[in-house]
Amino acid sequence: MRNTPERPRRVVVERDGPVLVEGPVTVLGDDGVPVTSHRFVVAVCTCRRSRTYPWCDTSHRRKSKKPQSEGDGPADLCPGADEDGAARKGERS
Amino acid sequence: MTTTAPRQESRATTPPLPPARGPLSAAVIASLRDSTAPLPDAGAVTAADPYGDDAQLALYLLYELHYQGFAGVAEDREWDVELLRLRGRLEDRFLARLRAEAPSRPSAADAIDALLIEPVADEDAGVSHWLQSAGGLRELREYAALRSLYHLKEADPHAWVLPRLYGRAKAAMVAVEFDEFGAGHAEDVHARLFADLMADLGLDTAYGRWLDAAPAEALATVNVMSLFGLHRSLRGALVGHFAAVEITSSPGSRRLARAMRRTGAGPAAERFYDEHVEADAVHEQVVRHEVIAPLLAAEPRLEADVVFGVEATGLLEDRLGAVLLDAWRAGRSALRTPLPEGGGRAR
Ligand code: FES
Ligand SMILES: [Fe+2]
Ligand SMILES: [Fe+2]
């Protein structure tokens, strides 16, 4: 997974999910502050719902009213439902 | 915050054998103490409930010989053919029950898609939802104690699948495991981060310390990993199991990180789950696209076992969750033996 001049860095764009980039990656925030992740692959959030933005935290997933284990019929889907948008601030690690 | 001297590595010591929970586990313990002691026959194994305390502890003890062993037990008992024969019988029963009860799905994509839909916040949705909104330090300590059976050897059972994979699936599985093992830094090994979490919660971090406290349902969630990991024939199930863990971990970890913050459990307790929010959002993608996809492209007949691995994991986690929530909602301890009082960095 090492980035070398001989091999271009690979980027995978997930449909309805993050952009996966071979790490390490530095993302410049809207405020101009750089944040770096050294993970072998980094998932950069594209949905802007992540509580750990710019890194994906799976907040892009669709939500269902029922617990997973009891089946998730398509009728239960409510895309974009946000369990606690208000709790986002101050939760960045 | 007080600074403490560097803690001893939790696996620096080998645990004592725990008390038995019935005739099968008693016989295994007796045999581990004295190799001439007789082991149960096939009939005794068939008579036991494969999910029960006795059978699950017997299996757990036999599997543990492949990890850390027990104090006073010769290390080469790991390959004692009589113990392996008994283990095989216990595994057959456990596996048959899991295969009978795990829901079937038409495809691996189907099983995985179901995991990718998040239940909305609701205390009925599972243990992490309940802990996030209602859990106190007492429940968080109990949760950490019983999860320590796995997390103090986190990602170890999955390493057994590596020689059974090749090409892209192997490269990607190794990359995820490398991350689980701290990406080259001992202080970042996930098992170590969990020991740090336990220290924040005032729990003894010695390997095996909480085995006796853990109910059968907790043992089963660990035994299933050892079962899938130790058998090449179950490599599809191991990969399905790993995918299920990684896919459900990120949102669950966010809820647990919140529970740790709300209760003031401590910085290491928060860090373990914060790290898993971010790491497993990546691991999930890598396992789905770079492990399962190439594995099934190379060996399409493994698909049913990938599904089985996903569903068996969900089944056993649901059984454990029901036991924990039953106890906690009623204000009872969910452990077989309550934790010693006190502890917790915040106290
Ligand atoms: S893309 Fe995953 S949280 Fe935004
Ligand atoms: Fe981990
Ligand atoms: Fe992980």
Reported as a single tens digit per residue, the pLDDT across B162-208 is 999 999 999 999 999 999 999 999 999 999 999 999 999 999 999 99
Q: How confident is the model at residue B5 (pLDDT cuts 50, 70, 90)?
A: low
Residue B313 within any structural domain of the chain: yes
- The answer on B223 and B294 residing in a single domain is yes
Residue A37 inside a domain? The answer is yes
| Pair of tokens at residue B205 | 């971090």
Domain range spanning residue B57? 23-101
A69 pLDDT tier (thresholds 50, 70, 90): very low
B139 within domain boundaries? yes
**Do B207 and B141 fall within a single domain?**
yes
B73 has pLDDT over 80: yes
Range of the domain at A38: 1-62
Domain count, chain B: 2
Identify the three-state secondary structure at position A42.
strand
Q: Which atom of ligand 1 is nearest to the CA of A47?
A: 4
Q: A83, A84, A88: best mutation site toward chain B, by most B Cβ within 10 Å? A: A83
State the pLDDT confidence band at B213, using cuts at 50, 70 and 90. very high
Task: Convert the pLDDT of each residue in B267-304 to its tens digit.
Answer: 999 999 999 999 999 999 999 999 999 999 999 999 99
pLDDT at res. A66: 53
Is residue A42 lining ligand 1, measured as CB closer than 6 Å? Answer: no
Whether residues B119 and B82 fall in one domain: no
Predicted pLDDT of residue B210: 98
Domain containing residue B221: CATH number: 1.20.910.10
The reply to whether ligand 1 has any atom less than 6 angstroms from the CB of A54 is no
Domain assignment present for residue B300? The answer is yes
- Does one domain contain both B74 and B133? no
pLDDT of residue B8: 82
Does B343 map to a domain? no
Residue of A15, A35, A62, A68 best to disrupt the B interface, most CBs of B under 10 A: A68
> Longest Cα pair distance anywhere in chain B, in angstroms?
56
Note the ligand closest to the C-alpha atom of A20: 1
Averaged pLDDT score across all residues of chain B: 95
- CA of B275 from ligand 2 middle (Å) equals 8
B240 part of a folded domain: yes
pLDDT at position B2 is 47
A85 domain residue, yes or no = no
Q: Which residue from B152, B144, B51, B156 is spatially nearest to B94, judged by alpha carbons? A: B51
Percentage with pLDDT > 90 across chain B: 93
Are residues B250 and B274 in contact, defined by beta-carbon separation less than 8 angstroms? no
Count of A-B CB contacts under 8 Å: 105
A56 lines ligand 1 (CB under 6 A): yes
Higher pLDDT, A91 or B38: B38
Reported as a pLDDT band with limits 50, 70 and 90, residue A5 is low
pLDDT of B64 reads 98
pLDDT surpassing 50 at residue A78: no
Give the pLDDT of residue A92. Answer: 31
Convert the pLDDT of each residue in B113-150 to its tens digit: 999 998 876 656 799 999 999 999 999 999 999 999 99
Residue A43 in domain:
yes
pLDDT band at residue B341 using 50, 70 and 90 as cut-offs: confident
Predicted-complex ipTM score:
0.90
Rounded CA separation B24/B86 (Å): 10
In a domain, A32, yes or no: yes
Residue A87 in this model has a pLDDT that exceeds 80: no
pLDDT for B346? 43
Q: Which pLDDT score is estimated for A71?
A: 36
Residue A82 lies in a domain: no
Whether the pLDDT of residue A81 is over 50: the answer is no
Question: b/e for B160-187, b at 16 or more Cβ within 10 A?
Answer: bbeebbeebbbebbbbbbebbbeeeeee
- What letter does residue B288 receive in the DSSP assignment? I
How far apart CA B221 and CA B56 sit, in angstroms, is 10
pLDDT at B118: 87
Query: How close is the Cα of B190 to the center of ligand 3, in Å?
Result: 9
What is the pLDDT at residue A63?
87
Judged against a pLDDT cut of 80, whether residue A75 lies above it is answered with no
Cα B72 to chain centroid distance, Å, stands at: 25
User: Of A39, A55, A87, which has the smallest distance from its Cβ to B179's Cβ?
Assistant: A39
What is the per-residue pLDDT for B125? 74
Q: Is residue A26 part of a domain?
A: yes
**Ligand 1 atom, smallest distance to A57 CA:** 3
Q: What is the mean pLDDT of residues B70-74?
A: 98
- The H or E element containing residue B320 is helix B303-329
**CB-nearest partner of B120 from A12, A63, A71:** A63
Report the first-to-last Cα separation within chain B, whole angstroms: 11
CA dihedral for B325, B328, B331, B333, sign (positive or negative): positive
B137 neighbors B263 (Cβ within 8 angstroms): yes
